[in-house]
Structure 1
Amino acid sequence: MTTMLSVNLNAIAMLRNRRDLPWPSVTGLGRIALSAGAHGLTVHPRPDQRHVRFSDLPEIRALIDEEFPDAEFNIEGYPSDEFLSLVVDARAEQVTLVPDDPSQPTSDHGWDFGAQADFLKPIVARLKSEGARVSLFADADPAQIEAAAGTGCDRIELYTGPYGATHSDPKAAAEWVEKLGATADAAHRLGLGVNAGHDLTVQNLPPLVARIPELAEVSIGHGLTADALEYGMAEAVRRFRRACGQDV
């Protein structure tokens, strides 16, 4: 399986929002990313719209429909009524549900599936009835995966933040790769697809992909945007595609 790359546009939107100006263009840089071979675009529309704005969603949808019909729109967020309305209106191919408090600066943990499965089941069913693939944010904990599968979701997204934090500690990095790999193994045994995201880089992606050869997709924003400042968006996408094991 080839691991696909979805480019998270939130960091670009946050930079744009520092001024009351239309640049950097969220859709413009999304277009460059898709032209460079990204499989899709990811956004996380938070309630306070401090990153991607609600008004960005139809523009990104139109970009994909009109210029990149084979690409996917992945929208992630906490499943409030407002969020669910947004993703249904945007016709997201994939919806990634995260257990964020609105005040969190970024996603920093997965669902407690044992405690929250009954909450998630009807939401997953509703989104699937709308034609979306549903992925649930998950910690590196194989014991949680049976309950995750019980929600009816299609995939889990491994929260890789702790792995990203080991950037200067090779021993700890190897330990986290194994924890994430064991969780992916548990998911695959139960028929779930596996995505991953958070603090992934060109350097730490290859070991993860090697340990999880059936990793379906990674969504990357902060590290890719940082690379884009140095290399440009198109080359940053190509660098991350190579790190995913793609021929570029």
Structure 2
Amino acid sequence: MTQTVTPRPTLLSVNVNAVAYLRNRRAVPWPNLIDISRAILAAGAHGITVHPRPDERHIRFCDLPALSRLIAEEFPQAEFNIEGYPTRHFIDLVLENKPHQVTLVPDTPEQSTSDHGWDFAQDGEMLRPIAEEFRAAGIRVSYFVDTNPDEPALAMAAGADRIEFYTGPYADLCSAETAQQELENIRRTADQARALGGLMMNAGHDLTVENLPGLRQAVPDLAEVSIGHGLTADALMLGFPEAVRRYLRVLGHPA
């Protein structure tokens, strides 16, 4: 039986990888990643997310100090979230730039985007000391997980402070029946996370203004969503500040 949960507004972290990807198509400094991140945060977003990949095809390693400085100096109430696969180079980048949260994803270098959660039976032993290293530096650790009720306990055993639901299967819907089935998977996984105590829940991948209400109904205490592609697509029509405000309203924040 699904637990009774008190609803709460969900925080919005905007992934600016798509902005960096557009910038990198030319040897020019625009669109300016810092200026757009500043506009996003000034419009009310609660944080910035980046995913620096080994080939730097969007976020460049040199972007990280500038983004960290922007948040620390101009938006100290906001959160900086760096996500990626924990190579030694990635670990060192995170430790050098001191985000509030690191989100570890099981991506291979050639993947175009994240498309599955961790296999903790295979990778849990590898992840645990990495999580301890981040936590010792005061950085919160979140793991990208598939929506399976077994995953929260496995993630916690591997050192997670939070989990981030991979919402691709929910967002890539073929029918209302499929949507309800995936939302039930999400609900059951969220129930197991709550039962552990202290394991908060994030979500991300292909989330939009249209599909967020169903997700929030399934997980009323969802702590945070990380949204990049859908919000950036809206921003091409509306501008980033108005796109951010639309998402904030859907997430339960006053206009």
Alignment counterpart, residue 192 of structure 2, candidates 174, 179, 186: 186
Alignment counterpart, residue 52 of structure 1, candidates 31, 56, 59: 59
Alpha-carbon distance in structure 2 between the residues aligned to 1:144 and 1:30: 33
Residue identity opposite 1:83 in structure 2? F
Q: How many residues align?
A: 247
Alpha-carbon distance in structure 2 between the residues aligned to 1:201 and 1:177: 15
Alpha-carbon distance in structure 2 between the residues aligned to 1:155 and 1:188: 11
How far residue 47 of structure 1 moved from its aligned partner, in angstroms, is 0.3
1:217 and 2:196 are equivalent in the alignment: no
How far residue 54 of structure 1 moved from its aligned partner, in angstroms, is 0.4
Residue identity opposite 1:113 in structure 2? F
How far residue 178 of structure 1 moved from its aligned partner, in angstroms, is 1.4
Alpha-carbon distance in structure 2 between the residues aligned to 1:61 and 1:116: 29
Question: What residue number does 2:176 align with?
Answer: 170
Q: Check the 8 A contact 1:206/1:245 in 2, yes or no.
A: no
**Percentage identity across aligned positions?**
56
Question: What residue number does 1:96 align with?
Answer: 103
Residue identity opposite 1:205 in structure 2? L
Alpha-carbon distance in structure 1 between the residues aligned to 2:195 and 2:124: 19
Alpha-carbon distance in structure 1 between the residues aligned to 2:88 and 2:150: 30
Residue identity opposite 2:135 in structure 1? K
Alignment gaps of 5+ in structure 1: none
How far residue 247 of structure 1 moved from its aligned partner, in angstroms, is 1.3
Please say which of residues 175-184 and 26-35 is displaced more in the overlay.
175-184
2:138 counterpart SS class: coil
Alignment counterpart, residue 31 of structure 1, candidates 38, 60, 65: 38
Alpha-carbon distance in structure 2 between the residues aligned to 1:178 and 1:214: 15
Alpha-carbon distance in structure 2 between the residues aligned to 1:185 and 1:149: 14
Alignment gaps of 5+ in structure 2: 1-7
Alpha-carbon distance in structure 2 between the residues aligned to 1:51 and 1:97: 18
2:150 counterpart SS class: helix
How far residue 115 of structure 1 moved from its aligned partner, in angstroms, is 2.0
Residue identity opposite 2:16 in structure 1? L
How far residue 169 of structure 1 moved from its aligned partner, in angstroms, is 2.1
2:185 counterpart SS class: helix
Q: Over residues 141-162 of structure 1, what are the superposed CA-to-partner deviations in whole Å (9 max), with x where a residue is unaligned?
A: 1122211111121000000011
Runs of 4+ in 1 over 4 A off after TM superposition: none
How far residue 170 of structure 1 moved from its aligned partner, in angstroms, is 2.0
How far residue 110 of structure 1 moved from its aligned partner, in angstroms, is 0.2
1:136 and 2:143 are equivalent in the alignment: yes
Alpha-carbon distance in structure 2 between the residues aligned to 1:3 and 1:193: 12
Listed as ranges, the matches of 1:10-89 within 5 Å are 10-89=17-96
Listed as ranges, the matches of 1:191-206 within 5 Å are 191=197, 192-206=199-213
Alpha-carbon distance in structure 1 between the residues aligned to 2:239 and 2:29: 19
Alignment counterpart, residue 121 of structure 1, candidates 117, 128, 136: 128
Residue identity opposite 1:132 in structure 2? I
How far residue 211 of structure 1 moved from its aligned partner, in angstroms, is 1.2
Residue identity opposite 1:14 in structure 2? Y
How far residue 26 of structure 1 moved from its aligned partner, in angstroms, is 1.0
Alpha-carbon distance in structure 1 between the residues aligned to 2:180 and 2:43: 31
